[in-house]
Structure 1
Amino acid sequence: MSKFYYNQEQESYDAIVVGTGISGGWAAKELCENGLKTLVLERGPMVKHRDDYPTANMDPWDFPHGGRITREDKEKQEKQSRTGYTTSAASKHWFVNDLEHPYNETKRFDWMRGYHVGGRSIMWGRHSYRWSDIDFTANKKDGIAVDWPVRYKDIAPWYDKVESYIGVSGENLGLPQLPDGQFEPMMELNCVEDHVREKVAENFGGRVITAGRVAHINSDKKFEGDGRVRCQFRNRCIRGCPFGAYFSSVSSTLPAAEATGNMTLRPDSIVHEVIYDPNTKKATGVKVIDRETKEEFEFKAKVIFLCASAIASTSILMQSKSDRFPDGLGNDSDQLGRNIMDHHLGVGASGKFDGFDDKYYKGRKPNGIYLPRFRNLGGDSNSDKFIRGYGYQGGASRGNWEEIVAEASHGKNFKDAILKPGGWTFGMGGFGEVLPYEDNRMTLDYDKLDKWGLPTITFDAEFKENEWNMREDMKEQAFDMLTKAGLRDVQAFDNPGALGLGIHEMGTARMGRDPKTSVVNGNNQVHGCENVYVTDGAFMASASCVNPSLTYMAFTARAANHAAQELKKGNI
C-alpha cells in the first residue's frame, strides 16, 4: 500500500515540511496556498479527522478498569506516566511508547511526545496568548542570552491572521503585557469565578481575572476546515474533537493545504538529516527512514521547513553534519541544543467557597480563568528577588477545579456521576517563565541507538535560582488573593516536577541577529543555509510566561510567506 495520501510521490518538490502539528500544519497551508508543491512528512501513522478518534464519544462506563491504565500500559509509558498525562485510558494512545522511543536523562526531563499526523495539536491545552514587546525586549533589557531580532509590530499582523483563522475565544483587556486580539465571544465565567474576579480587582490594583483565551470556536461563525462548528462544552478535547471546535491541524490547516491540490502527505516517515550542498550553500533535501519497513529514502526540495517540535527539529539539525557544518547544520554558534526552556508550573493555592449553593453551570467548560502577569512591569510590581513574571490558570467548580486546567487535568481517574453537586472549590496554579541558560541542553548519544539506528537524546537541564525564587512569590500571591477573596481552608501547594512537564519545550535553535550567537535569523532561516526554516519551539530566544503555540503559528505563517516570496525572487 502506498504511503502517500492526497497526492502521489514525485522526484522533487518546491517545499518539504517536516512535522504535522501546530507549526507543520500552518507551514503546509501557507506554502500550498502560495502555489508551492509541498511534501509533508510525519514520522508517525496517519490520523484522519473524526475517523481516528477512538475514544471521542466514549463514556466512563465504556472503559475497562474504570478508565485507569494497566500495569502493562504503564511500563510502556513509564517516564510519561510519572507526569499524570498518560494515566487515562481515554488519551494514552496519543502518547508514544517509551520503550520504542527511549531518551536519556542526566537530570529528570519530562518529554511528552505524540508521533502521528496532527502531532500534539490533537492533545494541546489550547490556551492562546500574544506576546508583547515586554517579552520581545526582555533579553536585551536584562542582558540575558541574545536580543530578539523582531518586535511585536513585526508579528502583530500574523497574530491577527492566525487568530481569525483558528478561532480564539477571549476578552480584550487593554493590557500592555497581554495584547488584545481577534476573538470569538468569551466563555463566560461562573458565579464563583466572577466573585473572585471582583475581589481580586478590589484588593489588588492592576490584577485582572478573565477567561482563558482558548482556541475554541464559540459562535456560529463559519470557519475554514473540515466542518468546524462551535464548541459543545464536552471537555473531552484531548481525545480529539469530532466537531473541529478547537483548532488542530487535522481539522483545519492540513485540510486547507489538501484543498489546494499542492500537498503530498507521507506518514511513517522519520526524517533524520537535512542534505547540504557546499557548492550552492543550500539544502537539497532530506533523508528519511520508513517507520515500518526501515527502508531509506531521499526527497528533494527547494526549501525545507523543520516543524517536528523543538527537540526533534534540533536533533535533525545536529545529525545533519558536513564538512561545512561538522557540529550540525547551522551550528557555527555552538548554540544548537542549548537554552532549553519550558514553563514551570504546579504551584499556587486552592480553597473552598461558602455560598452560591443554589447556583450551578451548564456543560463542561473546556477552560477556566486566566490572570495575566502582574510582576516586574514597573513601579510597585517589581520584585528584587527574581526577573520576568508569571500568570495563573485555574477556576471554580462544584467538584475538582483542576479538571478545567488542561495541564492539570490529564490523568484524573474517572468518577461516577453524582446526583447532588458538592461544594464550590476554587484553585489557581501559576505558569512561570524559565530563563534561557546555555548549560540547560540536549545532546545526542551515538552509543545508545534507537530501533531505527538513530542516536538517542540526552537531557541535562534544570530549574535555577530565578525560577525557585519566582515560585515562592507565585505561591504566596495565590494564597493571599484567595484569602482576601473570602475563601476558607486555603491551602498553598508547590509540586515543581521538572522541565518538560509544561509540554512547552523551547530554545535549542534560538533566533538572533548574529550567526556567532544564534542558529536562525529573524525570518526563521538557518544561518548559513537560508533555504532551511525552523518554526517550531526550537527558535525561541526566550520563553515569556504565556502558552507559546499561538506564537509558533504566527511565526510559521510569516516564515512560510517569506519563503514563498524569496523563492519567487530566486533568492533561495
Structure 2
Amino acid sequence: MNMTTNIQTGNTNTYDAIVIGSGITGGWAAKELTEKGLQTLVLEAGQTIVPERDYVEHVPVWQMKFRGMRDRKYDDVHRERQKHIGDEWNAKFFVDDLENPYTTPPDQPYLFLRGRHVGGRSVMWGRQSYRWSDIDFEGNLKDGVAVDWPIRYKDIEPWYDYVEDFIGVSGQAENLPQLPDGKFLPPMELNCAEIHMRDVIAQKFPDRRLTIGRTAILTKDHRGRTACHQCGPCARGCITRSYFSSLHSTLPAAEATGKLTMRPFSVVHSLIFDTKTRRVTGVRVIDAQTRQTIEFHAKVVFLCASTLESARILMNSKTPEFSNGLANSSGQLGRNLMDHMMGSGASGIIPGHEDRVQLGNRPNGIYVPRFRNIKDKHPKFIRGYGFQGGGGRDDWGRGSEMPGFGADFKHSLRQPGPWRFSFASFAECLSHPDNRMELDKTKVDAWGIPAMRISAKWRSNEWETFKDAQVTAAEMLEAAGAKEITLRNSPSAPGEGIHEMGSARMGHDPKTSVLNRWNQAHDVKNLFVTDGSFMVSSGCQNPSLTYMAMTARACDYAVKQMKLGEI
C-alpha cells in the first residue's frame, strides 16, 4: 500500500475525498471513489498489516511461544468477556482497551470488539454474507417500530449483485422470500450429519430450511484470488486471500488506480464544519505515533469508522449550532443502538455415521433462515432469528472432559468421537432510543479524545426470541433422533455479536433521522456515513453484505452529485 502522507492535488493535505476507516466499508468507499476518478485519502487509526509478517495461520501450536495460549499482557488490556475470542495467533488484531477505553452502566455490560489496523475487522470477520428482503425493510413500518426504512429491496438489489460479483460469495440458491438468492460461487458441501438434519427438517418442518452458509470465501479462483484450501483458522488472517477483506481486495483495487493515499496511525479527532457553506471542509487528525495534530481537507467525506466510532467522531465535532454532535439536529445521533442476540439454541449427539469422517476444516457452517413471523404471527414476539452452526465429530480434545488416565486412555482418543450437531441462534434486536452511546465526560483515550459511554440492554422481545430458539432447536434435534440434547443457555452481552449498528440511522424525515436514503447527512450535504451506523433495524442476518452494497450505492450517488455541482 502507498503510505505517503500526501499527494499533489493543488494545496497541501487537500484531496477530492477523505474516507475515515479502512475496514469493510472504508475499503469499498476507497475503491469506488478512486475508480470514479477522485483523489482519495484513507485515514486509518492503527498500523499497517503485512501478511508475511502478521499472518501466522499455519504456524503449529508447538512452535508458538505460549503454545497457543495468550500472553498475559493480552489479558491485562482486554475485558473479561473478550478473553475467549483472542488467542496467541490473532491477539494483535484486537484493540487495547486501556488505550481505547469505554464505560458502561454497572448493570449493562457491553462488549465492544475493535480492530484498529489497515483492513479493520475485515481481517477477522466471520464472512457470513446474506441479503435482506422487503420483509426486513418493511418490518418497522408494518410493526410500528422506530421509523420506516427509506429504501426497499429493489433499491439495493443491483448493488448486492455488484458487491457479490466482486467479493465472491459461495452459497446455495433456495428461492426463499425472506432470504433473496444472490450471485453465488459454488456452495461448500454439507457433511453427512448436516445432510441428515437437512432432510429431516425438509420432511417434518415445511416452514424451515437448512442450507449451507453463504460466505465471502472463494470456492474457485476469482478475480486474481485463490480458492480456499480449507485450512480453517481464518481469524488469524488468510495468506492466500481466499476470503474477502478490504486489505486484499478493495484497497488493492483502489491502489491500482493511482489515486489512493493510505495514511495509517491517523486517529481522527473531529470533522471541520464551515457554517457559511454548510459543508464539512476537512478532518482533524492526531498522529498516533508523534501526537502531532494535522488537518486534511476534501470536497466530500465518507465516515466509515464503525457504528460507535463514527457516532463518537460526530459527537466530538459539535458546533454552536450542533451542540450535541455534528449533523444531529434530529437528536438521534448515538441512539437506537442494536446488535444480534446470540447464545440460544441447542446441541446433541447424532447417532450413526461412525464410518465417516470429515476431511479438512471447512470455514463455514449451516444456516437456517428466519422462519418465525414470515407467514404466521407469533403470539409472543415480532421479527425472529436464524440459526448458524453445523455438525462435526468430536476429536481428541474431548479427553479434557472425560475420566481416564494412561496409555489406553490416550489410544482411545486417536479415534474420533460421535457426531454432534449444534444450532446457535442470531436473533433480531429491536431499535430502542435508550440503547445508546454518549461521550463520557470523565474519561479520555490515549490521545485525549473523550471516550464513549455505552448503555444497551436486551428487552422483552429479544428475551422471547431467546426462549423460542431453544424450543425450536431442540425439536429439530429430537426429530433427527439426536441424543443428549442440551439447550444453549448463555445469552451474549450486547455488542458480543459484533454486529453493532444504528447510531446514525437513515430515514425519510430529518426530524427523526440523521441520514437520508443515500447515506447522506440531512444537515451536511457532503458528509456520508456508510458503516453500520445507518441501519434502521437489525434483521437477524449478518449485516456486512448490506453495509458494502449501501456503501457502493452511496459512492455512486455522491460522485454524480459532485458532477452536478450539488456537493
- Normalized against structure 1, the TM-score is what? 0.94
Residue aligned with 2:526, SS? strand
| Alignment partner of 2:346 out of 346, 349, 353 | 349
Q: CA deviation at 1:530?
A: 1.2
| Alignment partner of 2:23 out of 15, 21, 46 | 21
Residue aligned with 1:343, SS? coil
Q: CA deviation at 1:401?
A: 13
Please provide the CA RMSD for this pair. 2.0
Q: CA deviation at 1:450?
A: 1.6
| Partner Cα separation in structure 2 for residue 216 and residue 418 of structure 1 | 32
Q: Residue 469 of structure 1 corresponds to which residue in structure 2? A: 464
Q: CA deviation at 1:76?
A: 1.4
Change (3 A) 1:474 1:273: same
1:252-287 CA distances to partner (integer Å, 9 max, x unpaired)?
000000000000000000112111111111110110
Alpha-carbon contact 1:6-1:265 (below 8 Å) kept: no
Change (3 A) 1:351 1:239: same
Q: Residue 34 of structure 1 corresponds to which residue in structure 2? A: 36
User: Structure 1: which amino acid aligns with 2:384?
Assistant: G
Confirm or deny that 1:275 pairs with 2:272: yes
Q: CA deviation at 1:362?
A: 1.9
Q: Residue 65 of structure 1 corresponds to which residue in structure 2? A: 66
| Alignment partner of 1:519 out of 499, 509, 514 | 514
Q: CA deviation at 1:4?
A: 2.3
Q: Residue 123 of structure 1 corresponds to which residue in structure 2? A: 124
Residue aligned with 1:134, SS? helix
Alpha-carbon contact 2:55-2:238 (below 8 Å) kept: no
1:310-365 CA distances to partner (integer Å, 9 max, x unpaired)?
00001011111112212111111110010110000011100011111111122100
Map 1:308-347 onto structure 2 (within 5 A): 308-347=305-344
| Identity over aligned pairs, percent | 51
Alpha-carbon contact 1:338-1:509 (below 8 Å) kept: yes
Count of residue correspondences: 551
Q: Residue 448 of structure 2 corresponds to which residue in structure 1? A: 453
Which is further off, 31-40 or 324-333? 324-333
Q: Residue 482 of structure 2 corresponds to which residue in structure 1? A: 487
Residue aligned with 1:159, SS? helix
User: Structure 2: which amino acid aligns with 1:93?
Assistant: K
Confirm or deny that 1:238 pairs with 2:240: no
| Alignment partner of 2:286 out of 278, 284, 289 | 289
| Partner Cα separation in structure 1 for residue 298 and residue 7 of structure 2 | 16
Map 1:353-432 onto structure 2 (within 5 A): 353-379=350-376, 382-399=377-394, 419-432=414-427
| Partner Cα separation in structure 2 for residue 522 and residue 199 of structure 1 | 42
| Partner Cα separation in structure 2 for residue 5 and residue 64 of structure 1 | 36
Q: CA deviation at 1:72?
A: 3.1
Alpha-carbon contact 2:396-2:414 (below 8 Å) kept: no
For structure 1, the residue ranges without an aligned partner over 5 or more in a row are 404-414
Map 1:136-285 onto structure 2 (within 5 A): 136-220=137-221, 222-223=222-223, 227-285=224-282
Residue aligned with 1:99, SS? coil
Q: Residue 85 of structure 2 corresponds to which residue in structure 1? A: 85
Q: Residue 406 of structure 2 corresponds to which residue in structure 1? A: none
| Partner Cα separation in structure 2 for residue 400 and residue 273 of structure 1 | 51
| Partner Cα separation in structure 1 for residue 352 and residue 28 of structure 2 | 46
Which is further off, 2-11 or 259-268? 2-11
Alpha-carbon contact 1:281-1:529 (below 8 Å) kept: yes
1:408-463 CA distances to partner (integer Å, 9 max, x unpaired)?
xxxxxxx9996322211111100000001000111101321122111011111100
Q: CA deviation at 1:557?
A: 0.3
Change (3 A) 1:514 1:306: same
Change (3 A) 1:278 1:452: same
User: Structure 1: which amino acid aligns with 2:20?
Assistant: V
User: Structure 2: which amino acid aligns with 1:103?
Assistant: Y
User: Structure 1: which amino acid aligns with 2:283?
Assistant: V
| Partner Cα separation in structure 2 for residue 34 and residue 79 of structure 1 | 45
1:221-244 CA distances to partner (integer Å, 9 max, x unpaired)?
x31xxx410011011111110111
1:368-411 CA distances to partner (integer Å, 9 max, x unpaired)?
100000000123xx2110000100001011127999xxxxxxxx
Alpha-carbon contact 2:7-2:13 (below 8 Å) kept: no
Q: Residue 405 of structure 2 corresponds to which residue in structure 1? A: none
Residue aligned with 1:511, SS? coil
Q: CA deviation at 1:6?
A: 9.4
| Alignment partner of 2:47 out of 45, 48, 63 | 45
User: Structure 1: which amino acid aligns with 2:194?
Assistant: E
| Partner Cα separation in structure 1 for residue 413 and residue 263 of structure 2 | 46
Change (3 A) 1:329 1:438: same
| Partner Cα separation in structure 2 for residue 126 and residue 418 of structure 1 | 32
Confirm or deny that 1:301 pairs with 2:298: yes
1:53-101 CA distances to partner (integer Å, 9 max, x unpaired)?
342221121223331113332111134535x212x11211110111111
| Partner Cα separation in structure 2 for residue 216 and residue 261 of structure 1 | 27
Residue aligned with 1:494, SS? coil
Alpha-carbon contact 1:168-1:182 (below 8 Å) kept: yes
1:204-225 CA distances to partner (integer Å, 9 max, x unpaired)?
11211000000011013x31xx
Residue aligned with 1:45, SS? coil
Runs of 4+ in 1 over 4 A off after TM superposition: 5-10, 400-403, 415-418
For structure 2, the residue ranges without an aligned partner over 5 or more in a row are 399-409
1:97-149 CA distances to partner (integer Å, 9 max, x unpaired)?
11111110112000000000000000000000000000001000011111000
| Partner Cα separation in structure 2 for residue 416 and residue 115 of structure 1 | 45
